[in-house]
Amino acid sequence: MIPRIVVVGGGFAGLEVAKALGGAEIGVTIIDRHNHHLFQPLLYQVATAALSAPDIAEPIRKILGRYPSVQVLFGNVAKIDTEARILVLADGTTVPYDLLVLATGSQPFYFSQESWARVCPGLKSIEDARTIRSRLLLSFEHAERTTDPVEQSRLMTIAIIGGGPTGVELAGSIAELSRHTLARDFRNIRPEKTKIILVEAGNRLLAGFAPELSEYARLRLESLGVDVALDSRVEAIEAQKITVGGKVIPVALTLWAAGVAASPLAAQLGVGLDRGGRVKVGSDLQVMGRSDIFALGDVALFLDENGQPLPGLAQVAKQQGEHLGKALARRTDTGEDLPAFVFRNRGNTAIVGRHAAVFESGRLKLKGWFAWSAWAIIHVYLLVGFQHRVQVSIQWLWRYLTYERGARLIAEERAEPGPPPSPAAEQPAPREALPPDADALPGIARAR
């Protein structure tokens, strides 16, 4: 009998599994709680108003539309019953499976400081990026308005926690936004004076790269006016201030780039998890002790030939997805052993700013303009969907020439009035959703 294969997660890993099975005309159901696949590596550009959300998000249905054997299910998996082999969605729908592929990725992890999560957005979803973009632009608007110099300098201080690729990319991009894009647009403040603090607990940035590249990134960021604070641990994060090494720093906004944990669904498999909440998988990506469940991408702990865990990178997820999809497509009987996955490192990049990137692949180490161009070409090429490639490349060309940014939209932070067209949610999200004095907040206020 043909096993019912269910893939949870439409990220880089899950999508590749579905494509490979769809290509082989094998029936598969892919479930995601968003309707779109997100090109995560460029999410920081949406957060900093360089790209608009749809540029890096593609409907999963559209991507898989050409594979008739693939069912796309837009839903949120609430429960995994590994005994009955049934997934229960948040709205009660049940989805039985014979083989489960868990590819639900990761999410920001605040070292169990849940109060931090409320005030310090991470960067994992489109909503995260829009929240960051709105708050970032809003803080400049408030700075322009205030007459109190102390409050003004707070409103022009942005802190970023974590000096990995995401932290470095956010810091560099915000620096360019303030130094160039916004420079001419204000009258009472000088956006180029924005204080950007990059807080890293370790003794160098980009710990995953060679020391000389870390050093290059630090120097470039500092030349962009970023305060790089190494060996600095954040002790507290509040709405308008952070505490670093005992020192309290008033800030407009704090962004979280210090760590992620595997999706909480992993905990429902009833197997042991590592400190990052990841599921240990064997060389064939099968979950230890669960012959009917596979895990891949950020949610999986895969040890390479040296016993080192593979990093949570798009290329790892993509390769694991391709590998598993093809292996399952080839396998004729569910008992059969699957080939071992071997990761081929295509090299890592981090963008520091315009003309400034680092690239490392084995012994090959690049930095500066060349690494930046290589990165831009590769990423434009990798973007899902031709239309996006065209648009994104034009936007980049345009921004390259002008420093302009096209997506400087401040969204209204509010619950939408009225019920979505779902029997599951009859009552409207109440207008009281807004803070009582929300009307005092431009961008939230409605004359309606």
Among the listed ranges 164-172, 222-230, 376-384, 406-414, the one in contact with a copy of itself (CB under 8 A) is 406-414
* CA-to-CA dists, residue 1 to 4, 131, 213, angstroms: 9, 47, 53
For the segment 255-274, give every residue that binds a copy of itself (CB under 8 A): 263-265
Phi, psi angles (nearest 5°) of residue 42: -105, 10
Residue 130 CB, nearest approach to a copy of itself (Å): 8
CB atoms within 10 A of CB 261: 21
* Rounded distance between C-alpha atoms, residue 79 and residue 391, angstroms: 39
Find where tokens 């161009």 sit: 373
Nearer to a copy of itself, 72 or 350 (CB): 72
Nearer to a copy of itself, 156 or 217 (CB): 156
Cβ-based neighbours of 381, under 8 Å, separated by 6 or more? 389
Find where tokens 């108003």 sit: 49
**Using CB under 8 A as the criterion, what x/- string covers residues 148-187 for binding a copy of itself?**
---x---x--------------------------x-xxxx
CB atoms within 10 A of CB 54: 16
For the segment 114-143, give every residue that binds a copy of itself (CB under 8 A): 117-121, 125-127, 131, 134-135, 137-139, 141-142
* Rounded distance between C-alpha atoms, residue 101 and residue 285, angstroms: 9
CA dihedral defined by 67, 70, 76, 79, rounded to 10 degrees? -160
Residue 30 CB, nearest approach to a copy of itself (Å): 12
Residue 437 CB, nearest approach to a copy of itself (Å): 6
Nearer to a copy of itself, 240 or 243 (CB): 240
Residue 25 touches a copy of itself, criterion: CB under 8 A: no
Per DSSP (E only), the strands in 90-156 are 94-96, 99-102, 106-108
Residue 258 CB, nearest approach to a copy of itself (Å): 16
For the segment 365-404, give every residue that binds a copy of itself (CB under 8 A): 385-388, 390-391, 394-395, 398, 404
Contact pick of 3, 23, 24, 61 for a copy of itself (by CB under 8 A)? 61
Of the residues 25, 114, 151, 169, which is catalytic? 169
Residue 87 CB, nearest approach to a copy of itself (Å): 13
Cβ-based neighbours of 344, under 8 Å, separated by 6 or more? 319
Residue 96 touches a copy of itself, criterion: CB under 8 A: no
Beta bridge partners of 199: 161, 229
Q: If we measure between CA atoms, which residue out of 152, 154, 179, 172 comes closest to residue 227?
A: 172
Q: If we measure between CA atoms, which residue out of 263, 269, 330 comes closest to residue 294?
A: 269
For the segment 302-341, give every residue that binds a copy of itself (CB under 8 A): none
Contact pick of 4, 34, 354, 365 for a copy of itself (by CB under 8 A)? 34
Asked about 416 being catalytic, the answer comes back as no
For the segment 216-255, give every residue that binds a copy of itself (CB under 8 A): 239-240, 252-253
Nearer to a copy of itself, 58 or 360 (CB): 58
Among the listed ranges 18-26, 50-58, 167-175, 339-347, the one in contact with a copy of itself (CB under 8 A) is 50-58
DSSP letter assigned to residue 393:
H
At 293, is the secondary structure helix, strand, or coil? strand
Which residues are annotated as catalytic? Answer: 169
